[in-house]
């Protein structure tokens, strides 16, 4: 029986549609696979850092003491959190690393850079806050180990206005909190308060410029009873860190950079309270 032109066209459309369906993958599934690849790579890097610290420990290296042991424990927490986000049965191979302190610094640097880069590259939705927190933690590690950390500048281009308003309010509150806290400090801690206030003022001005908004009215910050000035300063940075961590879902790398800044300050205050510690935490802002 002869086949009409209409039947031929319909047949071609059906074949084309079937071929398209065989290749099509739902966007959500694509995102989950991409996120899993990022997490798996970050987990691999965490195990490299852990192996470097353990090698330092097992060799009896004088660079491995209670402070370094605390950094190792934080990496183990990072690894556990990452593994919990991966499919059950995910396998991790034990990496081979070089000996010595330089191997630790190299592994820390690679891990921190990967976490920061992946937040920037994808804005990876539900894992962006975790990656940002890990990047911030590991950058505080590097500073604690005596290394300089170079971070990208804050970039608020096309950022959601509501996120910027929340950040500007947090930075504004921090400025006036430090004004009151500084009155109870002297010496090195007073200098740290001045440095912190200057950073918060710089960030607030950048946010206000992005919003094209005037400077808010001054705040009357009252020192809460029952806490030292250093404890209050730690609380200020923890609140700012939480705000920047939340912003990582929409601001990507800029949220991570802001979180890192407050994490470094918080670590500095913890060291001021207890010089026997580095003052780092596993998950800043969480």
Contact 210, 167 (CB under 8 A): no
**Residue 136 and residue 227 share a domain:** no
**Residue 247 and residue 183 share a domain:** yes
Other CB atoms within 10 A of residue 210 CB: 18
Q: Domain for residue 212, yes or no? A: yes
Contact 233, 179 (CB under 8 A): no
Helix (H) or strand (E) segment spanning residue 60: none
Contact 145, 108 (CB under 8 A): yes
**Residue 214 and residue 133 share a domain:** no
Sign of CA dihedral 145, 66, 230, 177: positive
Cα gap 115→131, rounded to integer Å:
5
Other CB atoms within 10 A of residue 51 CB: 18
In tens digits, what is the pLDDT along the chain, a chain of 286 residues?
454 544 434 344 344 444 444 455 567 788 888 889 999 999 999 999 999 999 999 999 999 999 999 999 999 999 999 999 998 888 877 788 988 999 999 999 999 999 999 986 555 557 999 999 999 999 999 999 999 999 999 999 999 999 999 999 999 999 999 999 999 999 999 999 999 999 999 999 999 999 999 999 999 888 887 789 999 999 999 999 999 999 998 999 999 999 999 999 999 999 999 999 999 999 999 8
Query: What local confidence, expressed as pLDDT, does residue 59 receive?
Result: 94
Give pLDDT tens digits for 110-126: 999 999 999 865 555 57
Give pLDDT tens digits for 124-171: 557 999 999 999 999 999 999 999 999 999 999 999 999 999 999 999
Q: Specify the number of domains making up the chain.
A: 2
**Residue 113 and residue 50 share a domain:** yes
Contact 134, 78 (CB under 8 A): yes
**Residue 174 and residue 254 share a domain:** yes
Smallest CA-to-CA distance from 243 within 258, 254, 265 is with 258
For residue 237, what are the domain limits?
161-273
Q: Domain for residue 47, yes or no? A: yes
**Residue 178 and residue 120 share a domain:** no
Other CB atoms within 10 A of residue 30 CB: 10
**Residue 105 and residue 135 share a domain:** yes
88-125 residues labelled b (16+ CB within 10 A) or e (exposed): eeeeeeeeebeeebebbbbbbbebbebbbebbbebebe
Q: Domain for residue 140, yes or no? A: yes
**Residue 138 and residue 70 share a domain:** yes
CATH number for the domain harbouring residue 223: 1.20.1260.10
**Residue 135 and residue 33 share a domain:** yes
> End of a domain among 115, 144, 173?
144
Tokens coding 175:
């400025």
User: Does pTM surpass 0.75?
Assistant: yes
Cα gap 49→103, rounded to integer Å:
8
**Residue 183 and residue 127 share a domain:** no
**Residue 243 and residue 138 share a domain:** no
**Residue 181 and residue 118 share a domain:** no
Cα gap 119→39, rounded to integer Å:
11
- Beta strands in 130-193, from DSSP E residues, in sequence order: none
């Amino acid at each position: 029986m002869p086949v009409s032109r209409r039947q031929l066209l319909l047949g071609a459309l059906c074949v084309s549609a079937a071929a398209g369906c065989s290749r099509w993958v739902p966007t959500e599934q694509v995102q989950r696979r991409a996120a899993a690849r990022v997490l798996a790579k970050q987990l691999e890097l965490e195990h490299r850092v852990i192996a470097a610290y353990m090698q330092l420990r097992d060799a009896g290296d004088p660079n491995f003491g209670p402070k370094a042991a605390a950094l190792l424990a934080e990496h183990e927490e990072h690894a556990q959190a990452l593994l919990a986000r991966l499919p059950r049965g995910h396998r991790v191979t034990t990496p081979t690393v070089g000996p010595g302190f330089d191997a630790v610094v190299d592994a820390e640097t690679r891990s921190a850079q990967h976490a920061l880069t992946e937040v920037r590259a994808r804005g990876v939705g539900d894992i962006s806050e975790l990656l940002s927190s890990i990047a911030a933690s590991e950058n505080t590690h590097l500073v604690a180990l005596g290394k300089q950390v170079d971070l990208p500048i804050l970039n608020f281009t096309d950022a959601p206005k509501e996120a910027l308003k929340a950040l500007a309010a947090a930075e504004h509150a921090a400025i006036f909190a430090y004004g009151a806290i500084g009155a109870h400090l002297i010496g090195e801690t007073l200098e740290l308060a001045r440095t912190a206030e200057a950073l918060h003022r710089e960030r607030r001005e950048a946010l206000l410029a992005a919003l094209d908004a005037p400077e808010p009215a001054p705040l009357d910050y009252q020192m809460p009873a029952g806490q030292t000035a250093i404890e209050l300063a730690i609380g200020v940075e923890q609140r700012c860190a939480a705000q920047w961590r939340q912003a990582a879902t929409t601001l990507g790398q800029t949220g991570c950079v802001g979180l890192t800044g407050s994490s470094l300050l918080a670590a500095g205050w913890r060291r001021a309270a207890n010089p026997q510690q580095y003052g780092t935490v596993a998950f800043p802002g969480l």
